[in-house]
Amino acid sequence: MYYQITSAALQGMDVRLVQVQTDIADGLPIFDMVGLPGSEVREARERVRTALRNSGIRLPSKRITVNLSPADLRKEGTAFDLAIAASVLGGIQAIPPHTNDCIILGELGLDGAVLPVRGCISVARMARDAGFGRLILPMKNAQECRLVTDLPCIGLRNVSELITYLRKGTEPEEEPDVSEAEVREEPDFSDLCGLEVAKRAAEIAAAGRHHLLITGPPGAGKTMLARCIPGILPGLSEEEKKVQMELKSLCGESSRNPERPFRHPDPGITPGGLLGGGKGIRPGELALAHQGILYLDELPSYSSQVLTLLRGPMEEGRVTLTRSGSIYEFPADFQLVASMNPCPCGYYPDRQRCQCTPEQILRYRKKADGAFMDRVDLCLTMQPMDFEDISGRRGSGAPSSVIRERVRAAWEIQKERYREEEFHFNSRLPHTKIPEYCKLGPKEEELMERYFTRFGLSGRGYHKVLKTARTIADLDGEERIRVRHLKEAVCYRTEDDIPEGRGQA
Amino acid sequence: MTHREYWFWLCSITGIGSVSLRALLERYGTPEALWELSAEEVNGLSQLNDAQKRAFQESREEYAVRKRFDRMTMAGIEFVTLEEENYPKRILQLYDPPGGLFYKGQLPPDSLRSTAIVGARNCSPYGREVSRAFAKALAAAGIGIVSGLARGVDGYAHEGALSAGGRTYGVLGCGVDICYPRQNLELYLEMQANGGVLSEQPPGIQPIPRHFPMRNRLIAALSDAILIVEAREKSGSLITVDQGLELGREIFAVPGRINDSLSQGCNELIRHGATIARSPADLLSYPTGQDFGETEEKALKLPLDSSEKLVYACLDLVPKNIQGIVNQVQLLPPVVMELLDSLELKGLIREVSRGYYIKTGL
């Protein structure tokens, strides 16, 4: 008897349909799996056989062949277990023929339990788009999928429930969703005393989603400041939350009410960890930071190989991987926040503590310099915290909620301004569009000319100042960029800072 | 070989310095006489140790010596012996003047009043500004600036002198064909057209630690006065000062903050009697019998409004972070940034490194 069940294979974020075909024939009893099964899929044979037996189904002594079609697509992972079981059940006529409008996924335990798999949200998305009628999957995954789609999701706990459902159509009893929404404990801006300049830079960075570099000695508060930034970003929209849940699901994690990600990868991270890949092509740190913040603490401690890899995604807003001729894409529209010391000992330009030579300083800074620094618009230099800051005697300023409102207002302005465009934030303005959106009046142009000469700005540096000024003007509620916006923007420029270079004549 | 070539040979023997040279010449009179010595006579020399005797023997190859001399001349390097007219007379005051000097550009003329400026290699931005400003003012008043082309105060002094269109001379601890440190290459080149670089080390000799105290005595000797800008308590620049004191040079020291370790050496010197240098005028108006005129005082002619004054008042020569300024003046960051821009435009302040500002001038 021939029976076919539809399942799905993950390719990065894309999903491809896999037909699980079973044929039962006379001959020596054998259970054969074909169709380029990977090692886990080959092991499915044992799991399926045992799970079925423990659910009361004995396989006949016949020749059972299972093919996973298309046969030239490599199949990985354990998600096919349930579909294989269903297909075999169909082949031995333990379940009636069915309409092929459902997709089945799930891993099996030897006791017949149906266990959660990764990537079900991507499958649900594809199933909906392709017009499938329902999804049969593990209970925990079904709970998750119901949050992102209105596609009927049948959640199963074990093989017996599968058989009951497929024979009689009775859906198993609903289990209450006891997963808790993740709650991130974020420091509030008002937890930091003083630091007005740093907070202002963070606000500008958040408002225009500009990439930000924070320089300062150890203990200046760089990491504390970076951790506060997610708190001033507006919340995710429903659509954006679905993307976050999908990305999390691809990693095998479930997320009930996702917030903007704050990813802080370890300095030892490998290119694979950053970009993604590995078995099953999982998303890497960059994709997991999509719509949120990627924080790199102590930039020179990351390998230069890894830092070079940032450039492409920062420019494209996505990660593209090529594996065996196939291309996999993940969204990776993140905001980079990086911190570093001004010199190897960390205390430059305080010559009381810093004995670093200019060559040492330049060499140290060169390590963090790379093509990706071209995309960093803002540079903030912090000083060591003084007693007034630490003791809390200096005022604490506005709480994050107040700043978030200002950032949200700026985001609204940009959304409106760029509604016809492919980009949505000032930081992402391509240089061809800068004259259009960052028009300058004569006084402003004169000032920029002075800055161009005075600071030796490159073309890119010049544009960065304009983009920053555009965001400052938006925060100020001003349609036109004014002189005062430029004066502030130029203080955050990222042009080469040569320690003890030759001064002007 | 010519007489000068014989001198050149004698001055280029590795391991034989000015003291041994002087002893040898006192005994034998001329370089030619030394060249003519037989092998046994060389071995019998009491003025040299064994290693020096070996070097002496090995160096006596006429072809090699003349070839090196020619190569030196072709490279534009000049050589002067202490017998010659244009050998700087001030150096003869030393107990152990070099037998010969190698130089590119010019030697400091005997008639040119000179001041040596020395100080820390790892100087602070304060030291940098002071070195430049003093050198500039003194050079503008026609004084030659002598230093060692080292990183830090030396380099900034040369820079300051050049910026005033003055003359500056660098005494090196290596051959004059080698620019050490590499980062001062521009200065090294520019100085040859506006002064010169000189050394007692022959061309090709690398800078090694032993050479630097030796060259410091030449810096002290070439100057009429020595200005020390920043020095820690146990600094190498103090050796130059000791040499200067032995030669009877006037010592000036720039004071610094009492808790600043970089100024301990200078402040100590002042306590022990060095003349305090608070501005170039302190050096120019020093009673040496010559009046070089007043330097222009940088008067604050441009009017500042009250907020600008507020920001300007909290800056000095020690770099201040913008947050530090905000803390002091209690104004919002964008407002402070506007004021800093306006002060910078008026030439009153400068950003020395990202986010750090100082007052310019003195």
A349 to B332: CB separation less than 8 angstroms, yes or no: no
Rounded to whole angstroms, how far apart are CA atoms B347 and B132? 16
pLDDT band at A410 (very low <50, low <70, confident <90, very high): very high
* Cis? peptide before A300, omega within 30° of 0: no
Rounded to whole angstroms, how far apart are CA atoms A199 and A73? 52
Residue B254 reports pLDDT greater than 90:
yes
Tokens linked to A45? 């044979």
Query: Could you identify the residue written with the tokens 């660098």?
Result: B170
- Chain B contacts of A357, Cβ < 8 Å? 122, 151
Q: Give the pLDDT of residue A254.
A: 81
Phi, psi of A433 (to 5 degrees): -95, -5
Which of A379, A383, A484 is opposite residue B324, by nearest beta carbon? A383
In the predicted model, what is the mean pLDDT of chain B? 88
Taking the Cβ of residue B332 and every Cβ of chain A, the question of whether any pair is shorter than 8 Å is answered with: yes
A352 to B262: CB separation less than 8 angstroms, yes or no: yes
Query: Could you identify the residue written with the tokens 């799991």?
Result: A47
Rounded to whole angstroms, how far apart are CA atoms A107 and A78? 5
pLDDT tens across B17-58, in order?
888 888 888 888 899 998 988 888 888 888 888 888 888 988
Q: Give the pLDDT of residue B294.
A: 36
- Chain B contacts of A379, Cβ < 8 Å? 354
Residue A164 in contact with residue A187, Cβ under 8 Å? no
Residue A150 in contact with residue A42, Cβ under 8 Å? no
Q: Name the β-bridge partners of B70.
A: none
Give the closest residue to A323 by CA, choosing from A365, A280, A286, A356: A280
Rounded to 10 degrees, what is the CA torsion of B54, B60, B66, B68?
-10
Report the 3 state secondary structure along B56-123: HHHHCCHHHHHHHHHHHHHCCCEEEECCCCCCCHHHHHCCCCCCEEEEEECCCCCCCCEEEEECCCCC
- Chain A contacts of B139, Cβ < 8 Å? none
Task: Enumerate residues 6+ apart whose C-beta is below 8 A from A366.
Answer: none
Task: Enumerate residues 6+ apart whose C-beta is below 8 A from A251.
Answer: A118, A282, A283, A288
Residue A167 in contact with residue A121, Cβ under 8 Å? no
pLDDT band at A483 (very low <50, low <70, confident <90, very high): very high
The count of CB pairs under 8 A between chains A and B is 88
Give the closest residue to A411 by CA, choosing from A398, A396, A426, A428: A426
Residue A258 in contact with residue A121, Cβ under 8 Å? no
Q: Give the pLDDT of residue A504.
A: 34
CA distance B326 to chain A (A): 8
Specify the 3-state DSSP secondary structure of A65.
Answer: strand
B323 to A215: CB separation less than 8 angstroms, yes or no: no
Weakest-pLDDT range from A279-293, B35-49, B131-145, B261-275: B35-49
Question: Given the DSSP bridges, would you call strands A2-11 and A30-34 parallel, antiparallel or unpaired?
Answer: unpaired
Which of B260, B323, B332 is opposite residue A382, by nearest beta carbon? B323
Q: How far is CA B239 from CA B100, B119, B157, B214, B265, in A?
A: 23, 11, 18, 10, 11
CA distance A139 to chain B (A): 54
A351 to B124: CB separation less than 8 angstroms, yes or no: yes
Which of B122, B323, B355 is opposite residue A195, by nearest beta carbon? B323
CA distance B122 to chain A (A): 7
CA distance A484 to chain B (A): 7
DSSP letter for B204, please.
Answer: T
Phi, psi of A448 (to 5 degrees): -65, -35
The pTM (predicted TM-score) of the whole model is: 0.71
Residue B327 in contact with residue B320, Cβ under 8 Å? no
Taking the Cβ of residue A198 and every Cβ of chain B, the question of whether any pair is shorter than 8 Å is answered with: yes
- Chain B contacts of A342, Cβ < 8 Å? 353
B350 to A505: CB separation less than 8 angstroms, yes or no: no
Weakest-pLDDT range from A140-144, A360-364, B59-63, B117-121: A360-364
